[in-house]
């Protein structure tokens, strides 16, 4: 005759099976793939002749899914009915209270080939480095890395959060072996802002999801003839309707003294704001940016189109195609027309 005893604790679940000749004690960790609620239920309602092996098999928890399986499952889940910005904000909210949190800010990508049909102006570099024969390839690598972190959450119980971010965009003459593949231009963009989420505010059927205002600095870290920089007060107002996201981003330049200003006419080309649209269709995201077109009478503006798409079912990266036409592709080119198309991979999407 077998007598069973079950002891359940936070660390170990133990079955004692005794017999007149061979008493045995077996202990296994509760986290070793066995459902504790199931064991407790068997202890209370199961038959007296149930063996330990039978109980373990009956209460075996399913094997944990691999990381890539969980990611693919989350990607393919049907939409919850919320707007695309709201879903992104919920992801942020699930992370901002974790210490030492870094999150994606803008999209992170690498264009393995970015071709400018107008060519890059090497004259300013030739002058700066005193090399008359200096030339730049029309084809280069471009990448953007953008992260943010919360500095203060729900300040004074007001629902206002304080964030800081850093974005770097580099234009790399990777294929220009004659010049030892230098970085033609790198733009650094630290910023800090206050943001809040309004409640139940709709305009023309679009829900206002998050608004904010902050300080933005943009510089190429150069000196002398190649130095470019400016400071702005930047606001943003985000709206959504189902899979469509809209953001208005106006700014005011903080003026500098003439002797310190490397680009006095920069607002003639960047204007005083930009409009962003993004639309998700399954695992595809389409984005559109318009800057300074109406303000300049369509003479000094810029348009950027983006398309991110799945890569062979792989959940961690997406393919990315970007087209840019206009002024302000980078600080060194702020007053030069650029017509560029690039293809590469995207690490994190805009939504």
Supply the residues annotated as catalytic.
Answer: 217, 219
Q: How many CB atoms lie within 10 A of CB 116?
A: 22
Q: Concatenated DSSP letters for 140-176?
A: EEEEEEEEEEEEEEEETTTTEEEEEEEEEEEEE-TT-
Question: In 304-340, which positions are buried (b, 16+ CB within 10 angstroms) versus exposed (e)?
Answer: bebbbeeeeeebebbbbebebbbbbbbbbbbebebeb
Output the six-digit token pair for 15: 């079955």
Strand partners, 171: 142, 185
* Contacts for 292 with CB less than 8 Å, ≥ 6 apart: 269, 270, 271, 272, 274, 300, 301, 302, 326, 327, 328
Q: How far is the first Cα of the chain from the last one, in angstroms, to the nearest whole number?
A: 64
For the chain, the residue count is 351
What is the Cα–Cα distance from 195 to 214, expressed in whole angstroms?
9
Contact 199, 234 (CB under 8 A): no
What is the Cα–Cα distance from 209 to 198, expressed in whole angstroms?
6
Contact 137, 150 (CB under 8 A): no
What is the Cα–Cα distance from 248 to 63, expressed in whole angstroms?
47
């Amino acid at each position: 005759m077998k007598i069973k005893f079950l002891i359940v604790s936070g660390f170990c679940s133990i079955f004692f099976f005794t017999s007149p000749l061979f008493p045995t004690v077996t202990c296994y960790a509760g986290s070793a793939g066995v459902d504790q609620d199931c064991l407790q239920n068997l202890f209370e309602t199961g038959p007296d002749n149930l063996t330990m092996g039978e109980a373990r098999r009956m209460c075996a928890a399913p094997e944990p899914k691999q990381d890539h399986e969980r990611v693919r499952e989350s990607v393919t889940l049907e939409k919850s009915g919320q707007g695309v910005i709201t879903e992104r904000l919920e992801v942020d909210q699930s992370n901002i209270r974790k210490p030492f949190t870094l999150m994606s800010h803008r999209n992170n990508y690498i264009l393995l080939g970015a071709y400018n049909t107008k060519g890059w102006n090497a004259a300013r570099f030739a002058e700066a480095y005193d090399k008359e024969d200096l030339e730049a390839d029309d084809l280069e690598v471009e990448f953007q890395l953008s992260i943010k972190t919360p500095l203060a959450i729900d300040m004074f119980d007001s629902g206002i959060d304080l964030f800081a971010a850093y974005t770097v965009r580099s234009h790399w003459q990777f294929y220009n072996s004659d010049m030892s593949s230098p970085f033609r231009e790198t733009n650094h963009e630290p910023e800090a802002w206050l943001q809040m989420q309004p409640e139940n505010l709709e305009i023309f059927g679009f829900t206002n999801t998050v608004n904010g205002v902050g300080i933005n600095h943009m510089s190429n870290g150069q000196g002398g003839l190649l130095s470019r920089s400016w400071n702005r007060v930047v606001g943003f107002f985000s709206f959504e309707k189902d899979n469509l996201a809209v953001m208005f981003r106006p700014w005011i330049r903080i003026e500098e003294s003439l002797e310190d200003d490397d680009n006095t006419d920069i607002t003639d080309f960047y204007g005083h704001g930009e409009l962003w649209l993004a639309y998700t269709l399954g695992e595809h995201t389409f984005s559109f940016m318009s800057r300074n077109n109406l303000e300049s009478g369509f003479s000094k503006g810029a348009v950027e189109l983006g398309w991110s798409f799945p890569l062979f079912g792989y959940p961690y990266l997406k393919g990315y195609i970007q087209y840019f036409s206009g002024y302000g592709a980078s600080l060194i080119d702020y007053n030069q027309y650029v017509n560029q198309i690039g293809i590469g991979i995207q690490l994190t999407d805009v939504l």
